[in-house]
């Protein structure tokens, strides 16, 4: 039994006329009749009562009609699925993110992908910091990640945001009265920051900024994400250096102040493994180029 035999059978069953069925299938009547005979031989039963004036389904033919339609529909669905995946219109793309930068960038990207490619499933995995993301992209357990620069060998990246570090502190803190705060003024402060073992770019930037100012930061407590970090700041546990996007997280008793002097910006990039042949990933990247364009200062 072949799918084309079932296709011919359904056409004849619906038309009840071999000539019209052959025209519908764009084949000659003789090959169609041969397909029906082969199908009947395979099943061991006559499917049609044929006379010179009419064609009628036998009981066996009536029993076959709905299962045949179902099998053809399933085969068409399989064909559509495979074609969609090969064209990148369907598939699964895993995306790692962490921190306020990705919180700001991810929603417009996810909405655009869902709108343009409803068959693509974005598997969003939170609290995947830059260092961890790069490792997982390399080993293939992550397709796409928000990371800081530089990236490691074998990974391709494109800058999608440029963040500035700002100071988050309790609204009752003496430094809250200043318009801007020099990093050197934080030498005696206790800091709240992200976990050291997860490869947070913001934590690395904190350490670098403090060392440049002549001291090492005293970490009072670590937080798994930006919301919890700012909650600890509001509770008076410590101050924090965060990216400017964190201002979008509204919490009582937390204020933000710019840093005085020269503090290096923090470019945030989308990264993926060179050689990743996922067509769905490449369609997501095309959407990202439009929704998350590279800032002007990082244009090649």
Question: Measured on CA atoms in the order 202, 265, 104, 174, is the torsion positive or negative?
Answer: positive
117-142: string of b/e by CB count within 10 Å (b at 16+)? bebbebeebeebbbbbbbebbbeeeb
Average pLDDT over residues 49-76: 91
Relative to beta strand 155-163, strand 266-273 is antiparallel
The confidence band for 42, taking pLDDT boundaries of 50, 70 and 90, is very high
Whether residue 104 is predicted with pLDDT greater than 60 in this model: the reply is yes
Q: Can you list the positions of beta strands (E) in 28-187? A: 48-50, 55-57, 90-96, 119-125, 144-148, 155-163, 165-170
> pLDDT tens across 26-37, in order?
999 999 999 999
- In angstroms, the CA 77 to CA 114 distance is 21
CB of 166 closer than 8 Å to CB of 259: yes
> What pLDDT sits at residue 20?
93
- In angstroms, the CA 60 to CA 62 distance is 5
> What pLDDT sits at residue 59?
94
Full set of structural domains in the chain with CATH: 3-86 (1.10.10.10), 90-161+266-298 (3.40.190.10), 165-258 (3.40.190.10)
Whether residue 300 is predicted with pLDDT greater than 60 in this model: the reply is no
> What pLDDT sits at residue 261?
84
Average pLDDT over residues 255-282: 92
- In angstroms, the CA 13 to CA 56 distance is 8
Q: Name the average pLDDT for the chain.
A: 91
Whether residue 94 is predicted with pLDDT greater than 90 in this model: the reply is yes
- In angstroms, the CA 73 to CA 141 distance is 34
Whether residue 84 is predicted with pLDDT greater than 90 in this model: the reply is no
Structure-token pair, residue 216: 């090492």
Q: Which residue has the higher pLDDT, 168 or 196?
A: 168
Residue 178 vs residues 157, 248, 258: alpha-carbon distances, Å:
38, 21, 9
Torsion (CA) 254, 257, 258, 260 in degrees, nearest 10: -140
Relative to beta strand 119-125, strand 90-96 is parallel
> pLDDT tens across 193-249, in order?
998 887 888 999 999 999 999 999 999 999 999 999 999 999 999 999 999 999 998
Average pLDDT over residues 78-104: 81
> What pLDDT sits at residue 46?
94
Helical (H) or strand (E) element with 243: strand 240-243
Residue with tokens 């993926």: 272
Q: Which residue has the higher pLDDT, 100 or 185?
A: 185
> What pLDDT sits at residue 268?
92
> pLDDT tens across 110-149, in order?
999 999 999 899 999 998 999 899 999 999 999 999 999 8
Structure-token pair, residue 164: 């500035």
> What pLDDT sits at residue 86?
67
Whether residue 88 is predicted with pLDDT greater than 70 in this model: the reply is no
Long-range contacts of 61-70 (CB under 8 A, 24+ apart): 61/9, 61/13, 64/9, 65/9, 65/10, 65/13, 68/6, 68/9, 68/10, 68/13, 69/10
pTM for this model (two decimals): 0.71
């Amino acid at each position: 039994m072949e799918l084309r035999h079932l296709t011919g059978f359904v056409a004849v069953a619906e038309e009840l006329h071999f000539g019209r069925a052959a025209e519908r299938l764009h084949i000659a009547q003789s090959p169609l009749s041969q397909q029906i005979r082969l199908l009947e031989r395979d099943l061991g039963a006559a499917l049609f009562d044929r006379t010179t004036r009419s064609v009628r389904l036998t009981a066996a033919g009536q029993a076959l009609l709905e299962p045949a339609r179902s099998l053809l529909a399933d085969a068409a669905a399989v064909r559509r699925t495979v074609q969609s995946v090969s064209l990148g219109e369907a598939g699964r793309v895993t995306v790692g993110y962490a921190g306020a930068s990705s919180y700001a960038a991810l929603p417009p990207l996810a909405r655009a992908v869902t709108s343009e490619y409803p068959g693509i499933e974005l598997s969003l995995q939170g609290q995947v910091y830059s260092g961890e993301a790069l490792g997982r992209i390399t080993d293939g357990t992550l397709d796409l990640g928000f990371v800081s620069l530089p990236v490691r060998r074998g990974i391709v990246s494109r800058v999608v945001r440029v963040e500035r570090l700002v100071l988050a502190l309790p609204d009752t803190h003496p430094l809250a009265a200043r318009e801007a705060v020099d990093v050197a003024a934080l030498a005696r402060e206790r800091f709240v920051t992200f976990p050291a073992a997860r490869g947070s770019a913001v934590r690395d930037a904190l350490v670098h900024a403090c060392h440049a100012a002549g001291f090492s930061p005293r970490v009072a407590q670590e937080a798994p994400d930006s919301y919890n970090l700012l909650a600890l700041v509001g509770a008076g546990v410590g101050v924090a250096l965060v990216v400017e996007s964190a201002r979008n997280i509204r919490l009582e008793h937390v204020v933000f102040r710019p840093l005085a002097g020269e503090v290096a910006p923090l470019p945030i990039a989308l990264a993926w493994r060179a050689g990743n042949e996922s067509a769905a990933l490449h369609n997501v990247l095309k959407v990202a180029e439009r929704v998350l364009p590279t800032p002007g200062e990082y244009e090649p």
